[in-house]
Amino acid sequence: MNLQEWKANKKFQSRINYGTQIGRVIRVMTEYGGWYTLREIEKMIAARYQDKDTQAAISARLREISAIKHGLVKHRRMEMVNGKQVHRYSLIPFVPVRDVAEKIGVTA
């Protein structure tokens, strides 16, 4: 499942209240896909909503994202920028192992 298919999936969309903090985080991160720092997510939320979500709150909401409930999995990668560690986050639609096994012709 790609991000467009996830957006069209009524099962997952009905479980997300986009008026909540976690809903705002999911919406801005899945709008274009990609990898974002907490600061970038904070700025995207501030530009789109009147609410000011802090980086700590965004980090907490990212930890709460569930493959079962939201259909998304959080990925994190670390980069070195000017000698400092920078963490970037991305939300990827969850694909069950059984579905992947069927696609490649292996029984799970």
Q: Which two tokens stand for residue 107?
A: 């029984």
User: Which residues face 93 on adjacent strands?
Assistant: 72
Alpha helices in 2-107 (DSSP H): 3-8, 10-13, 21-32, 38-48, 55-64, 67-70, 97-104
Residues in the chain where the model's pLDDT stays below 70:
108
If one looks up domain 3-104 in CATH, what number appears? Answer: 1.10.10.10
Instruction: List pLDDT tens digits, range 34-56.
Output: 999 999 999 999 999 987 899 99
| Per-residue pLDDT at 105 | 85
